[in-house]
Amino acid sequence: MSVSGKLFYNWSDKDFDESLKFIDTEQLGDIPYDVTIIGAGVVGCALAYKLSMYKLRILLLDKNYDVGEATSKGNSAIVHTGFDAAVGTLESELITKASRHWPELAKKLKIPYEECGALLIAINDEQNSQLDKVYEKALNNGVTDVQQLSAEQALELEPQITKNVLRGILIPRESIADPFSTSIAYSEIALANGVDILFGVEVIGIENVDEKVKSLITNCGKKIDTRIIVNVAGLGSRKIADLYGGEPFDINPRRGQFLIFDKFSRSVINHILLPIPTEKTKGVLVIPTIFGNLIAGPSAEDFTNDDETVANTTIEQLQSLLNGASKLYPGLNEQPVIGTFSGVRCNCKQGSYWLRSNDGHRGIITVSGIRSTGFTSSPALAEFLISEMQEKLGLNLELNPAAVDSRSESSWPGWWKRPYSNNELVKESPEFGRVICYCEQISHGEIIQHLDSPLKPRTLDAIKRRTRAQMGRCQGFDCMVNVAEIISNQCNIPLKKITKRGPGSEIISTNTSQY
Amino acid sequence: MDSTKHFNVLIIGAGPAGVGAAVTLSKRGIKSIAIIERSDKIGGIPSFYKKKKGGVRTFVRWSRGGIPVFGEEYAQWLEKQLLKSKVRIELQSQVLNIDAKKKILTLVNPKEGEVNYSADAIVMACGSREETPAERGWLAGSRPVRVFFTKQLLSLLDDNHLLPMNNPLIIGSDLIGYAAAAKLKAAGASDAVIVDNCNRPKCSIFERLYFRMWSNPKYQGLKSKSIEITGNKAASGVRLNGKNIPCDGIVICGELIPNSELALIGNIKVELPSRKPVVTEDYQLSESGWFAAGNILGGFHGAEWCYFNGRRVARAVVNYLSESS
């Protein structure tokens, strides 16, 4: 894929690749951007991807050092049909629309995707009485392919689920996908189509907010000029909105903890197992992942927007998740847990999908309250935002005939296509036969390949999300130092300066003496 | 894919147990033996304990009244034994899959790519690793950088001459934890604080006295339900018993768990969630012709125990081969 957008990191360390360093605004050219997207989560990346089909000057920026580094990295990775969304809402409309596009989108973007289906089960009389309502709701949401199942039919589909099952609903198109590849794929194509990308850049002020061309003041002291500002900063969207004084809204991050089970558990459960949803959440689910594990979760815990422990895990919640999930699949108690994680939903007090065009000022769009469904809805939400910009912000759209909308075959992640199965490739490049992540069976060659991929990932976590090295049962016990050494050697960064997720997260404390 | 290569015995893992088995099988006249190792060196866990400046003699040769040696020295001795035998050594070879009934391993290495090996008998000497925070079940909190496993710490210290922290906090109080505290102190860090989910350290008083030669770590046992790691970007401490203990790096030590995933992949019986493979008295696994040796059996065993266990398993393999022919 030829890269025509510019990519820079605000990474001032002297050992960081000079050609990737963001030093001056001049590097971006002196014409103002038509659109600047603040926040490179799944929604920001989807928007950059969809906008890159047009002749526009676009900037995508994020304070982190990779795409999808915040809310977008911790979720259930389910591509929803929207069967249980609140009927008649924008959220429901966008999910339903997006879910039908997903199979084709995944093929184009080379995102591992599987239509595994979901099984909603009632295990007591109270739940049983609600099942008909759920079925009705699915039909009203336009998800007409749902099927009612008897207990026998449910057990036939998933023999390992609880024998207490009374009745069930099968939602055949509920799917699973790789959430990490999604933000990466969107932004790689956007970059190829000429979108500029800045990492490590935080917007701390906005000048000329009522002018046609506004100036973003950044944490690195550089001003960036742009006509339209799209605030898709997720949990940070409130802080950005304060800079231009948009309509008041509040963010109450809602934490969702998950347990990850080892791969052997995946062979016993094939469908997403759903309890009957409540007002607040969908309850504790058992979810097969595209990577071959099972996960159980999420919890739903409300936080204030400045709590630093929001992404922590807690033993009490994890235990209660296990109890909840094993009501659906009792065998889960015996399955080994290999890891845990927390996702943080960008929950807006005033309602989900908080979208405001010309928010306080012409040319500014606020997008907040995109909860866990943002992963599914991202392609449809991006299209919706573009039509808003066209209708309400006066953005002129002219298709760019040179734009591409897909990634090349070679973009499939190695863990999905297994490059070492190609003996010709190993003969040519033996490093693809040298497995360094034993648990996920990822080769040295795959790490090198990804370091050279379009977004030039340079952190351990960025490499982890792309290759899966360090994501397996040993959680980096065997390969963490090896991966760090490969980044160090390939990118000429001293090993002690390799970071987990950007400056400040160096693997070696900066004030230790030379040993 | 090349056609399957056949051996009399295949051994997975070139740590003390695997080498013990290989050498003994070779001495007992078994003709074609191959030992398959996924890393690039022989010796397993002992090889991580280097004879270097600030090095600490640990683990091996305690049991037989001998003096402690560096792990690396023991690994070199293992390598010498192995090279003297006629065992074929395949390094950097990762077993991807097994067919338990047919006794076939599918493996990949830089030399051959993906290839199948088969054998009349197969010994799993895959060793063990340290439990992850999630596996311990009482460790939660944030996910900052500078939370290491012992293996990672040793690799940074000895292979790369990098001291990752000044004020270490060690989670896990067995021999490995106390050895790590000694190693860190010898490398220039301050005395560690060691924490664990029990009142008294798991490491014996004699072992603790031995490590006093290098360091005198403070111990704090967990009285509440969990230990929480704190720190947003880098580890800044742990919260335990309602108190914050500050640090600038954490090492998660000990609590070994068997590397039995290959057995699970091949539907060989393994106890879950302990991951201990189910073995008979003569170390046979649930599928005929499959054996297990060393730390994959579970528990916490030193290098010498594993070596001698490997030799014992080799004798069981010889019996099996003579009975089945």
pLDDT at site B1: 46
CA of A262: which chain B residue's CA is closest? B261
CATH of domain B5-129+257-324: 3.50.50.60
Q: Locate the domains of chain B by residue range.
A: 5-129+257-324, 132-252
Query: Which of the following CATH numbers is that of domain B132-252: 3.50.50.60, 3.40.190.10, 3.30.70.380, 3.40.50.12780?
Result: 3.50.50.60
B residues 71-100 near A, CB within 8 Å? 92, 94, 96
CA of A266: which chain B residue's CA is closest? B265
Structure confidence at residue A510 as a pLDDT band (50, 70, 90): confident
* 8 Å CB contact between B262 and B98: yes
Q: What is the complex's ipTM, to 2 decimals? A: 0.96
**What stretches in chain B show pLDDT beneath 70?**
1-2, 53-54, 58-67
pLDDT at site B64: 54
Domains and CATH numbers, chain A: 7-72+179-249+350-392 (3.50.50.60), 118-172+252-345 (3.30.9.10), 413-497 (1.10.10)
DSSP-derived letter for residue A251 is: B
Answer whether B186 touches A (CB < 8 Å): no
Active site residue A80: yes
Same fold, B5-129+257-324 and B132-252: yes
A85-142: per-residue pLDDT in tens? 999 999 999 999 999 999 999 999 999 999 999 999 999 998 999 999 999 999 999 9
A14-41: per-residue pLDDT in tens? 999 999 999 999 999 989 999 999 999 9
pLDDT at site A389: 98
Answer whether B64 touches A (CB < 8 Å): no
Residues of B in contact with A340 (CB under 8 A): 133-134, 140
pLDDT at site A1: 44
Residues of A in contact with B266 (CB under 8 A): none
pLDDT at site B66: 63
B12-64: per-residue pLDDT in tens? 999 999 999 999 999 999 999 999 999 999 999 999 988 876 677 765 555 55
Residues of A in contact with B105 (CB under 8 A): none
Q: State the Cα–Cα distance between residues A258 and B106, nearest whole angstrom.
A: 33
Q: State the Cα–Cα distance between residues A474 and A91, nearest whole angstrom.
A: 38
Q: State the Cα–Cα distance between residues A470 and A475, nearest whole angstrom.
A: 5
Choose from A267, A477, A480 for mutation: most chain B CBs within 10 A: A477
Buried b (16+ CB within 10 A) or exposed e, A216-244: bbbebebebbbbbbbbbbbbbbbbbbebb
Chains A and B: how many Cβ contacts under 8 Å?
173
Buried b (16+ CB within 10 A) or exposed e, A188-201: bbbbbbbbbbbbbb
B250-264: per-residue pLDDT in tens? 999 999 999 999 999
pLDDT at site A266: 87
Interchain proximity A508–B134, CB inside 8 Å: no
Q: What is the mean pLDDT of chain A?
A: 95
Cβ neighbours for A271, distance < 8 A, ≥ 6 positions apart: A116, A117, A118, A119, A157, A158, A170, A288
pLDDT at site A515: 66
